[in-house]
Amino acid sequence: MAHSSQPADPAAPAPLSVGDEVELDVTNIAHGGVSVARHGGRVVFVADAIPGERVRARVTEARKKSFARAVTVEVIEASPDRRDHVWPEAALDRAPQDRAGGAEFGHIALPRQRDLKAQVLVDAMQRFGGLDVEELVGLEVEACLGDDESNGLGYRTRVRLHVDPETGAVGPYAARSRRVIPVLSLPLATEGVEAIAPLGDSMPDVAAVDLVAPSADDPRMLLTVGDGRKRAGEDDPVRELVGDRGFLVRAGGFWQVHREAPEVLFTAVRDAVTHLIDEGRFDAAAANLDLYGGAGLLAAAMAEAAGPQVKVTTVEADAGATDDAAENLAELVGARAITARVDRYLADLLSAAPPVRDRLRRGTVVLDPPRSGAGGDVCAQLAGLAPANIVYVACDPVALARDTKTLLAAGYALAGLRAFDLFPHTHHLESVALFTRE
């Protein structure tokens, strides 16, 4: 293996090969949980570092002339925010290929993690969203109840483990790979998940293990056998509790993983709708929509603010989730749950009769798309329908930023933006953006 211990010269060419070890001054944070450094004019995205540190890093990818990827193997000058990793199986003293993935910020103090996430969101909204920095001053990533006291541990109510097809060992994938790493602990998981986790077991006939600990039901294990896509028990109904409101959810269906996340997002959407009501911008009798609606959590939040007579249609491609939404919204006389792809549903609305389109123009749309975002096509459809308000729940800052640019160009204004630390010790965050039609 080649080694280079000389300090990087920013003016010199920087030929790099996989396996090279170089000293790097880490200057910034990038989307995706990696930090940014430069080596001879080339950008290097380096894992397991913190901006402000000097590290020795091993090059893992150097195919691009403009940038390379590396992983920290030694900290030469540590940040005051560096901590012992919360997950021993992901710590720096392990070989990079043997570090468990899923806690890429676990070596950083919680307040600094949130500052870095805020920087990523602000940068994305400027670079990809077209916002001015003045519009983003003071943006903070808000902590969930109890996380500061627990150091951000014990929050995950849903964990997926994988099984090594050769050894049968159970564990998470290694960071940035699909290599299974056997582990002795799951520090981000709730006690209910940890209690049933088959750590140390051999499960040679199983491909994956999903651990689910509902807030109002017993923990359970869902097994994917062989190369099958269906998990045993995934359609079993489980109960979740959000405040004093119960929700029926399929055991294998989508639900937020942080124990507090459903209530945090429920409250954030409820508060956004309440703000619209106070501003005289919300019409409870309009054709209000909850897109990518899942089990109806956010439609229920809209009703919490606007009252049980609110008209709202929740649209979800997964038929099981739609069934759950119908059950969860049954007491709302104006609620409907429809199984459909969002883009196809909106396409039908675009060709609807003028009275339907008018009700849509007076309506409010809540949407919680997948990590890739709503995307240009869906945002263009929304722009064509021109609802009065859009409440956008996003789990990826770059996807949100790109969709923001589309909505701003269509005549919407960003009336509010909040961010939440629903995934401590990872680079992920959740945002809630409020758009109003100008």
Q: Return the active site residues.
A: 395
Establish whether 316 is an annotated binding residue. Answer: yes
Local structure of residue 59 (DSSP, 8 states): E
User: What pairing do the DSSP bridges indicate for beta strands 231-232 and 206-212?
Assistant: unpaired
Among 131, 126, 185, 125, smallest CA distance to 159 is for 185
d(CA 386, CA 210): 40
Helix/strand/coil percentages in the chain, nearest 5:
25, 30, 45
What distance in Å separates the CA atoms of residue 324 and residue 294, rounded to the nearest whole number? 8
Cβ partners under 8 Å of residue 84, min gap 6: 91, 107
Q: Is 263 annotated as a binding residue?
A: no
Q: Give the neighbor-by-neighbor strand order of the sheet with 158-163.
A: 170-171, 158-163, 206-212, 220-225, 231-232
d(CA 320, CA 300): 18
Sequence-ordered strand ranges (E) for 85-214 = 141-142, 158-163, 170-171, 206-212
Where does residue 233 rank: exposed (0-12), middle (13-18), buried (19+ CB within 10 A)? middle
3-state secondary structure 230-273: CEECCCCEEEEEECCEEEEEECCCCCCCECCHHHHHHHHHHHHH
Binding site annotation covers 256?
A: yes
C-alpha 405/C-alpha 391 separation (Å) is 15
- Quick one: which of 2, 5, 175 has its CA closest to 76? 5
- How many whole angstroms separate alpha carbon 59 and alpha carbon 3? 10
Numbered residues of the known binding site for S-adenosyl-L-methionine? 256, 292, 316, 368
